[in-house]
Structure 1
Amino acid sequence: MHSKACDTLRRQGYNFISPLSSAAVKPCLWSKRALAGGDMCYKHQFYGIESHRCIQMTPTLRCNQRCLFCWRSHELPIDEDRELSPEEIVASVTKLHKKGLSGYKPHPEVTEERWDEATVRPNQVAISLSGEPTCYSHLPGLVDRFMETGHTVFVVSNGTRPWVIRDLHPTQLYISLDAPDEETYRLVCRPMGDYWGRIQESLSYLSSRRSAIRMTVVKGINDHSPEKYGQIIRDAAPTFVEIKGYMYLGYSRSRLSVEQMPDHAYLRSFAEEVGRHAGYRIRDESPVSRVVCLEEEP
């Protein structure tokens, strides 16, 4: 793997399973907060996931889009990336998750029970750290292996590889929908191929499983045509729709301005409009994370 990329990501808290692979684990901010008795992320509020028991990981950092809103770097490409087997990945992630949390063990608010739950008995895997997980050729097998070992699994994908999505059956499957039409998609996601039709195919698989469409709203770029978003959602019929505001963080700050970050009131209003056209209603919301969850009208 490209050494400069590897060194940069290690400084950011990534723990790599192998020096030859970009498969990595990194505990998120909410996992650390929850471990110390603080708040959990919106996935706890929406779906009951305990943040300190959630492993955030990816089987690959490779990606086939260069989204404007992505907080990750596009300037440090991943080269010479060897794929690990699902068994190699599953055998290593809990140990690396514990390594990423190790500095928190002496924290006065970290109880023995929570430490044990987080580092010995984690029960959720979020395949969402970075990269596009469907670029890893054994993703369905990896998901199955995690579930066989007693974990619930959330997978977040950009939907550009529908033949992988077809065979994926995690606890909850997310497909990103960051544009209401192909022109906007090319502007905001900067794909490295002709993927709009593939995304529509991936969306067609959502109605047959527990699923969510995830939208990242960038003010002034993709916050238009709620009727088009609504029609796509109506056709896909996911279990949930998460509409999340762009956050002015990381490397995205070199591509977008802070003014393009919608506040929660703006986001909620847009979500209501999209929901009206889709036949979905607001199920829940988290102002601190600037995210609104929709579900289908009864």
Structure 2
Amino acid sequence: MAEIHKTYFRQGYRLLGDHFHSAVKVCQWTKESLRHNRVCYKELWYPPVQSHRCMMMTSYLGCNCHCLYCWRLHSHDKPGLNWKEFPLTVEEFDEPAQIVEQAIEKRRLLLTGWKGNPKADRKKFEEALKPTMMTMSLTGEPTLYPLASELIREAEKRGMITFLVTNGTVPEALERLSPLPFQLYVSVSAPNRKTYLSIVKPLVKDAWEKLNRTLELLPSLNTRKVLRLTMIKGWNMGNHEEYAELVKKAQPNYIEVKAYEWVGQSQNRLPKNAMPYMKDIEEFAEKLSHCSGYVVKAKFEPSGAVLLA
């Protein structure tokens, strides 16, 4: 695992705790906000988000899926770089309080260099050191961490709202969550089982069925809910009616239709032309709107994203 940890470090991650199953990293949009006053679409669409005060982290570096479009490094992606990432070989899990405290501190250290940057907004820099939001989406699958509820509670104790992004394959973990995150994202990568298996490459049985159980659970969860549809050109941009059926099942507050980005390790799995243009995303969103009854509310071209509500 030493080589894996070195790779994470080189990529800007900082591992947390005693057992190194969690990590933090400074989001690119935090840097954009500090340097150019440009913010991510979450700040524009989902109050009270502030890009410069968002702490992007994960409590579980492993994942139970090997999605083709994922930017992160999977076991066997590189010759000789193999490890058991699901389930992680962890002797025991670190306590939530330790993870949150170290995430705040290590993110602060990563941001320290911005203090002397003449292009950085001084007021925003000072605010950025005190995050008001913890996003569990950096890498891996956060619902595999068995103390997710306690992690959310520890973040709330420190004045942070929480966003949790899940692939939806652990519905029983979502059923147990208390408190719920401020906002819950569920990734929907395909309209049907066949396409799902070809894109998501799950490491668990019945992953498609488990995702559907999660979608059926969503209406009963009293929090803000978003379905994120990652669009890959030539792979999953048809079957609007089938997507609409999944939306009907989940009844989310919002739908994000977002273009796959040809970045990171996904460049070794997919061709560059699998990345849709903004017009492709807009056309898909309009068709989904017609089928689902949701209405296009906003667009954000830098991230290739369209919001429906």
Q: TM class by shorter-chain length?
A: over 0.9
2:256 is matched by which residue type in structure 1? E
* Two-structure CA RMSD over aligned residues (Å): 1.3
Match 1:178 to one of 186, 189, 196: 189
Match 1:254 to one of 268, 276, 287: 268
Which deviates more, 63-72 or 14-23?
Answer: 14-23
**Secondary structure of the structure 1 residue equivalent to 2:168:** coil
In structure 1, the gaps of 5 or more residues are none
2:57 aligned partner = 57
- Equivalent residue pairs, number: 293
The list of structure 1 runs, each at least 4 consecutive aligned residues, that deviate by more than 4 angstroms after superposition, is: none
Match 1:239 to one of 218, 240, 253: 253
Matches within 5 A, 1:198-213: 198-207=210-219, 208=221, 209-213=223-227
CA contact (8 A) 1:86 1:145 kept: yes
Instruction: Find out whether 1:116 has 2:115 as its counterpart.
Output: no
1:14 aligned partner = 13
**Secondary structure of the structure 1 residue equivalent to 2:116:** coil
Which deviates more, 57-66 or 89-98?
Answer: 89-98
CA distance, structure 1, for counterparts of residue 36 and residue 161 of structure 2: 22
The share of aligned pairs that are identical, in percent, is 33
CA distance, structure 2, for counterparts of residue 111 and residue 224 of structure 1: 43
1:192 aligned partner = 203
1:129 aligned partner = 138
CA distance, structure 2, for counterparts of residue 276 and residue 100 of structure 1: 45
**Secondary structure of the structure 1 residue equivalent to 2:261:** coil
CA distance, structure 1, for counterparts of residue 36 and residue 123 of structure 2: 11
1:151-205 superposed Cα distances (whole Å, 9 cap, x missing partner): 1110000000001112331000011111111111100000012211111111123
Instruction: Find out whether 1:292 has 2:302 as its counterpart.
Output: no
CA distance, structure 2, for counterparts of residue 141 and residue 18 of structure 1: 15
In structure 2, the gaps of 5 or more residues are 76-81
CA contact (8 A) 2:19 2:94 kept: no
CA distance, structure 1, for counterparts of residue 167 and residue 269 of structure 2: 20
- Shift of residue 72 of structure 1? 0.6
- Shift of residue 227 of structure 1? 0.3
TM-score normalised by length of structure 2: 0.91
